[in-house]
C-alpha cells in the first residue's frame, strides 16, 4: 500500500486532477480521499503526526526507487516477471523452496 499526501486547489466545478508516480501500476485501485477544510483554510501549516511523516518518507523512497528503475530500463536492463523473480530467489537459496513464501506476489 502506498500513501500520498497532496495539497490541492478545488476548482469551481469541484474538479481535482491527480498525477500519480509511475510506481503506481495501471489497473484497479482503491483511492481514499479525505477533505480537511480546516487545514486548507489555515494560513499556517498544521504539524504532521509521526504516521504522516513516515508515509511521506516512504513516498520519497518510492520516487527514488522509481527513478533508479527508469534509469536501469534506459540502460538496457530487462525486468523480470514474478515467475522469474521467484525462480531467482529459489536459485539463490540453493534450490530450497520456502513453503510459506513460495509465491512472492
pTM of the model: 0.37
| Residue 28: partners with Cβ closer than 8 Å, 6 or more residues away | none
Q: What is the pLDDT of residue 59?
A: 80
Digits of tens for pLDDT over the chain (105 positions)?
667 777 777 778 888 777 777 777 888 888 877 777 665 555 455 555 666 666 777 788 888 888 999 999 999 999 899 999 989 999 998 877 766 655 555
CA dihedral 61, 63, 65, 70 (to 10 degrees): -170
Q: What is the pLDDT of residue 46?
A: 54
Amino acid at each position: 500500500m502506498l500513501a500520498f499526501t497532496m495539497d490541492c486547489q478545488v476548482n469551481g466545478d469541484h474538479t481535482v486532477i491527480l498525477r500519480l508516480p509511475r510506481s503506481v501500476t495501471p489497473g484497479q485501485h482503491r483511492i481514499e480521499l479525505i477533505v480537511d477544510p480546516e487545514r486548507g483554510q489555515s494560513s499556517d501549516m498544521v504539524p504532521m503526526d509521526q504516521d504522516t511523516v513516515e508515509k511521506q518518507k516512504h513516498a520519497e523512497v518510492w520516487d527514488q526507487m522509481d527513478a533508479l528503475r527508469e534509469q536501469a530500463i534506459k540502460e538496457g536492463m530487462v525486468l523480470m516477471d514474478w515467475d522469474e523473480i521467484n525462480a531467482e530467489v529459489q536459485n539463490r537459496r540453493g534450490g530450497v523452496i520456502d513453503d510459506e513464501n513460495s509465491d512472492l506476489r
